[in-house]
Structure 1
Amino acid sequence: MDVVSDAISAVRTGRPSSNRLRVGGSWCTRLAPYDGAGFHVVLAGGCWLVPDTGGEPVTLGAGDVVLLPHGAGHVLADSPGDTARAVPFEEMRRPDGDGGNGREVELLCGKYRLDRSRTHPLMAELPEVVHLPNRVGRHPELRSAVDLLANELDERRPGACLALPSLLDLLLIYMVRAWMSEAETGSWPSVLNDPVTTAALRALHSDPAAPWTNDRLAAAAGVSRATLARRFTALVGRAPMAYLTWWRLTLAATRLRDTDASLAAVAREAGYGSPYALSHAFSREFGVTPGKYRVSAGSS
């Protein structure tokens, strides 16, 4: 898998959920902080998003997409003014029609469940609010996903129960991609634009259990060991073998949470020679044994 796919897969749990909201007139609703990521797609009309974190209000128009990757609480409203009037999203009345003033707004609002105990640094450095305006010619794959979502919501054809969550997963990938292509801050867009570091990351993510060494990884990236160490560490923030250790343990944690595979199987898949070796490294990284982690993850 590629780094972006792995970064998302490492934290995604369960299935995304979504609600269609159609309102008009004067309205204001608050969405509480969430242990995951929230998103909104403006299908028609326009509104404002006001972050609880004190950031500037964001105006949203038809076709706009916004991602709140860290689950920040926020307000959606017809205007950015008095947010004290906001009612909880769960109590929001969804009247038919436009309230009599021709300003109907239609949104798709949803959530992704995320396990933040293993957040990849690529996902961690996303800003609190990622606003992707509907601009002609920009991010055509994202625009196509929005159009497909709108059609699926409208028609409810056979297979919609599978199609909708799959499209929502696709939307998350395209939102992250779009942010990376436009980001003016953050290290990971630079990481994945560097051919040497990208080649090394691709090799590690393709076969994390392989007996990697700095020399072998440098050969895979087509550079000297010193060049790889310098560029990888400067961009990623960890030395290549330190990143590999962290990623192997992250994969082990995912397997422990999502499967009933034996500790020996998890150790083998993560590149550890024995359950004892995995347990020692895992306890050092997470502060608990693999067995206790599995129990706590299963009960959460």
Structure 2
Amino acid sequence: MLTEALASMRTGSPSSVRTDGRAPWGLRLPPVAGAGFHVVLHGSCWLVPLDDTPPVPLGPGDVIFVRDGRGHVLADHPSTPAEEALPEQYSDGSPIGSVSLGGDGPRASLLCGNYHLDQGRPHPLVSRLPAIFHLPTRHGRHPELSAAVQLLGAELDNPRIGSDGIVPSLIDSLLLYILRAWLDDQPADTAQGWAAALRDTAVAPALTAIHQAPGTQWTVESLAARSGLSRAAFARRFNVLVGEPPMAYLTRWRMTTAARLLRESDIPLTAVAARTGYGSEFAFAKAFKREFGLAPGGYRRQARAA
């Protein structure tokens, strides 16, 4: 479900920049369309939000995730003045840009970048994440995420044959590792929302069914049967954890799936309608236009022209 939810929002490949700063250094990062991330490869630094949120100290292996791509500052110290810097040209076919700044003090090296996600229609799993969260990977925490960070660092420090293909794949996978680590950090007895829904023995099977087969003619009763709960009890539990009733989420996922098929494939509208549970192209087109404000054909043309 996590993979599918993210795939439904992706609008392109991630862009990344290797940032090397020597104290004193400060880098102001403007807002981006998507979700931002930083991985500390060497040294230490601070992330300074542009609101009243306290600065966050970062050490080797730490990961910071910015859900909505809001602007912020990276610096060797919160009091260091920040500058805006553009990455240098991508060289030697590298998939990573680079920027160097600062003086001649202690060095910090980071991988910074953003995942291009459609924030206009975010999946609730992503939209309900904290605006900024910090994942320390020291002291044995999040071993899989730590391993991915170490692999990235090794490829960037010592590029070899195949690095130009390995690095983008690692960065792409990093998003899943980041979100999985955050979900794993939520205590089972106090988790709420999607963190709880993905673990819930009644709701999780229903979500899996919807994601795997959006074209099935699901009802509250048929989904409740998978949970072992009554129709009313299942509907209440689903609504509390997911944030909307089962049929509303089913419609949301059908429309999300349809939009992805229209953007990424050339299959005819009748096939898109069938895959998303609509008995006719007319019924599908009516539902799609109500949701997106465009007929499916117009949406496909607009997406291809973007």
Assess if the C-alpha contact under 8 Å between 2:25 and 2:103 holds in 1.
no
Structure with the larger helix share: 1
Query: Could you list the per-position Cα deviations for residues 134-163 of structure 1 after superposition, in whole angstroms to 9, with x for gaps in the alignment?
Result: 331211111111011111112222222221
The one of 127, 133, 136 aligned to 2:136: 133
CA distance in 2, matches of 1:262, 1:245: 20
> CA RMSD of the aligned region, Å?
1.9
Assess if the C-alpha contact under 8 Å between 1:191 and 1:235 holds in 2.
yes
CA drift at 1:226 = 2.0
CA distance in 2, matches of 1:25, 1:142: 28
Assess if the C-alpha contact under 8 Å between 1:53 and 1:72 holds in 2.
no
The one of 83, 88, 94 aligned to 1:86: 83
Identity score, percent? 49
Which letter does structure 2 place at the counterpart of 1:288? L
Partner of 1:138: helix, strand, or coil?
A: coil
Assess if the C-alpha contact under 8 Å between 2:137 and 2:145 holds in 1.
no
Assess if the C-alpha contact under 8 Å between 1:30 and 1:89 holds in 2.
no
The one of 265, 269, 272 aligned to 2:275: 269
Q: Greater CA deviation, 178-187 or 264-273?
A: 178-187
CA distance in 1, matches of 2:119, 2:263: 13
The one of 214, 225, 231 aligned to 1:225: 231
Query: Could you list the per-position Cα deviations for residues 96-124 of structure 1 after superposition, in whole angstroms to 9, with x for gaps in the alignment?
Result: xx8443x1111111111112233110100
CA drift at 1:8 = 0.8
CA drift at 1:214 = 1.8
CA distance in 1, matches of 2:175, 2:99: 27
CA distance in 2, matches of 1:225, 1:100: 66
Partner of 1:66: helix, strand, or coil?
A: strand
Q: How many residues align?
A: 294
> Which residue is 1:252 aligned to?
258
Give the TM-score, by structure 1 length.
0.92
Q: Greater CA deviation, 56-65 or 253-262?
A: 253-262
CA drift at 1:133 = 1.3
CA distance in 2, matches of 1:72, 1:186: 24
> Which residue is 2:241 aligned to?
235
CA distance in 2, matches of 1:100, 1:88: 18
The one of 23, 30, 37 aligned to 2:28: 30
Q: Greater CA deviation, 259-268 or 184-193?
A: 184-193
CA distance in 2, matches of 1:186, 1:88: 39
CA distance in 1, matches of 2:80, 2:296: 49
- 1:288-299 maps to which residues of 2 (within 5 A)? 288-299=294-305
Partner of 1:204: helix, strand, or coil?
A: helix
Q: Which runs of 5+ in 2 are unaligned?
A: 89-97
Partner of 1:147: helix, strand, or coil?
A: helix
- In the superposition, relative to structure 1, how do residues 231 and 21 fare at CA in structure 2: closer, same or farther (>3 Å)? same
Assess if the C-alpha contact under 8 Å between 1:27 and 1:77 holds in 2.
yes
Assess if the C-alpha contact under 8 Å between 1:16 and 1:110 holds in 2.
yes
Q: Greater CA deviation, 188-197 or 288-297?
A: 288-297
CA drift at 1:49 = 0.9
CA drift at 1:186 = 5.3
> Which residue is 2:2 aligned to?
4
Q: Which runs of 5+ in 1 are unaligned?
A: none
CA distance in 2, matches of 1:64, 1:185: 23
